[in-house]
Structure 1
Amino acid sequence: MEERVEERVVVLVGYDGAELLDIACVTTSLATANRLGASPAYTVAVATPGGRAIGCDSGLALQGQRSLERTGGPLDTLVVSGGFGHEAAAANPRIVGHVRRLARESRRVASVCTGATVLAAAGLLDGRRATTHWRYAGRLASGYPEVTVDPGPIYIRDGNVSTAAGVTSALDLTLAFIEEDHGAELARAVARGLVTYLQRPGNQAQMSMFTATPAPRNGLVGRAVEHIAGHLDGDLTATALADRAGVSERQLTRLFIEDLGKPPGRFVRDARTEAAAHLLTSTSLTVASVAAQCGFGTAETLRQAFVGRYGTPPSRYRAAHGGPAA
């Protein structure tokens, strides 16, 4: 007979230079789940070196609730936060050693943002696919070649180890944990309580095509991107965009590649696919209607774009991520 779990103990590892939002997204989501009836409830604590207060990126101090050195398992979930102090934490053998020790005593291990660097330093990402904040993905990949770094998704779950991308993606990963532990209904109730998306799928891109950072350096490209965002169902061919910008198609393509790393056609396709993913998971529009609103013209064209971007057709994507039926 399966042993009844009385509580789900969750420990977040913090250190000097940790990002407070990385921690709060997890703790607030789990506290909300408890208030809404999670059973067994989550017992959440922040563990820091020596149990002392840590200075967060924002300049605020956060008091540790447990000493990292004296924290022991079994744990339900171990989460390592990110922040500008992640490299110093990853270079600290005591922090890394205790993270490695606690991981062995945890059912589930996760990192938020650049906390993936600490997991990698502990050897916990070896042979795994992982993500981190897009700005630091190259550095993680070069520093830990045994880790398959994918900077695209907002979170990745590989076995019992999960890595979330930048900052607020911790919210999406935590909602996924709540759904796994207590079902979709509670996860949705938590999302509503936090006034956030019901839940972004893990394979959604970290950066919206419409709010990508850094912004285009070239003003012409920036204006073209703004036009694309507001006219997804319009004529967005490279020819039409070039005519609108008053340059040749060749010049527009060169400027897009220099600023955004992709030609106009690829940028438009990605933007339309991302917008379609949002509509599929947040509305009951038919696939054909979504295709029309996002400028794909036909459901088949949308299907091809979806399979290329997400590896699954639109209808399965909607079903897998809890979107409302058409």
Structure 2
Amino acid sequence: MNKNKTHHVAFLGFNRIQLLDLVGPLEALEIANNRIDGPGYQCFIVSEEDKFTSESRVKVASDYQFSNCPQVDTVFIAGGAGTREPTIRAPAQQWLKRNFDTFQRVVTVCTGVFMVADLPYLQGKEVVTHWAYADLLQKTYPQLRVNQERLYVKQDKFYSSAGILSGIDLALNIIEEDHDASVAVSTAQYLVTYLKRAGHQSQFSEPLKFQSSRNSHIDRMHQWLMDNYPQEVTVEQLAEHIGVSPRHLNRLVRTHFLMSASKYIEHIKLEQSKIYLSQKNIAVEKVADMVGFKSSDSFRRSFRRKYGIVPSTYQLRFSQ
């Protein structure tokens, strides 16, 4: 982005939109405008008609329609049920396809990625969406590489985020990218949010997933793993401990956490490793041993595969 010129940002509107996906990033950019020394963002809403209605039945008035939309540098595409309803999304898709090559940056929030998933530009690219729709996105558009873990991903000029509040995380990242960290920090402080959840962080936290299980086998499994994560643990050992077959354990874990039992064991260990890595004076090799990995190399590979960065980089960014 040229800091000496105003950046024109369009927010796509359509019926049955998830309103927070639109309003969250929009408010972040508008707040940033008050902290930017020089030209900032000119934000506006564009849609097919002059009004549209959100999933929560809030009526929103657009600034422009597709027929008279001014210059667009960045377009934000929110999620919502409308992204998956052909009659609603068709006009928006046509406008996006006509203008896609002229956009400097395309940003999808939550299921907004469904609006552009069939574009040749995204062939083979990594994208994210809300975890509840990740499987549907991958099955419907097998040419995409759907990451079910990350909060947001940048692929050239295309940015995608997991949804709702992560759209604000991505907006803060864009503000820092366009201007500097101080503007993003000040914006986050005004929003009373963290600056900033990195894109490689998980879509939902371990405690939240655990609290949502309400299953005695899952409860016992989770508690045992938390008490024994320094050990090397196999699926067979874990299944024996809670009194089920490995096959049944895999079925339980997949139902509750959308992953295999082996991936869940790894997940518990890696989430715990992030706590240790938040300390400056602890070696990565020591952390690997503390969370029960066979070697520091296997730990590094697993960590990078899950979070997109190596443990040493995570420690550098987040240690206190």
TM-score by length of 1: 0.80
Offset from partner CA, 1:190-216 (integer Å, 9 cap, x none): 222222222222122223233239943
Q: Please say if 1:139 is aligned against 2:136.
A: yes
Q: Please say if 1:87 is aligned against 2:80.
A: no
Q: Residue in 2 aligned with 1:309?
A: 306
Tell me, yes or no, if the aligned pair for 2:276 and 2:282 is still in contact at 8 Å. no
Aligned partner of 2:98: which letter? R
Q: 1:63 aligns with which of 51, 61, 64?
A: 61
Offset from partner CA, 1:97-151 (integer Å, 9 cap, x none): 1112332222111111111010124544233221211222222222223322222
Q: Residue in 1 aligned with 2:35?
A: 36
What is the CA-CA distance between 1:16 and the residue it aligns to? Answer: 0.7
Q: Please say if 1:13 is aligned against 2:6.
A: no
Q: 1:156 aligns with which of 140, 153, 158?
A: 153
Provide the rounded CA distance (Å) in 1 between the counterparts of 2:151 and 2:260: 23
Provide the rounded CA distance (Å) in 2 between the counterparts of 1:156 and 1:4: 23
Q: Residue in 2 aligned with 1:258?
A: 251
Provide the rounded CA distance (Å) in 2 between the counterparts of 1:88 and 1:263: 31
Offset from partner CA, 1:78-110 (integer Å, 9 cap, x none): 111100111125864321111123322221111
Q: Helix, strand or coil: the match of 1:36?
A: coil
Provide the rounded CA distance (Å) in 2 between the counterparts of 1:308 and 1:147: 17
Q: Residue in 1 aligned with 2:194?
A: 197
Q: Residue in 1 aligned with 2:318?
A: 323
Q: Helix, strand or coil: the match of 2:7?
A: strand
Q: Helix, strand or coil: the match of 2:73?
A: strand
Q: Show the 5 A alignment for 1:37-56.
A: 37=36, 39-52=38-51, 54-56=52-54
Q: Residue in 1 aligned with 2:167?
A: 170
Provide the rounded CA distance (Å) in 1 between the counterparts of 2:26 and 2:2: 26
Equivalenced residue count is 313
Aligned partner of 2:148: which letter? P
1:293/1:254 Cα in 2 relative to 1: closer, same or farther (>3 Å)? same
Q: 2:122 aligns with which of 114, 122, 125?
A: 125
Provide the rounded CA distance (Å) in 2 between the counterparts of 1:226 and 1:32: 43
| Structure 2 unmatched ranges of 5 or more | none
Aligned partner of 1:323: which letter? F
Aligned partner of 1:20: which letter? L
Provide the rounded CA distance (Å) in 1 between the counterparts of 2:76 and 2:270: 32
1:44/1:28 Cα in 2 relative to 1: closer, same or farther (>3 Å)? same
1:179/1:276 Cα in 2 relative to 1: closer, same or farther (>3 Å)? farther
Tell me, yes or no, if the aligned pair for 2:106 and 2:159 is still in contact at 8 Å. yes
Output the aligned Cα RMSD: 3.4
Tell me, yes or no, if the aligned pair for 1:276 and 1:291 is still in contact at 8 Å. no
- What percentage of aligned pairs have identical amino acids? 25
| Structure 1 unmatched ranges of 5 or more | none
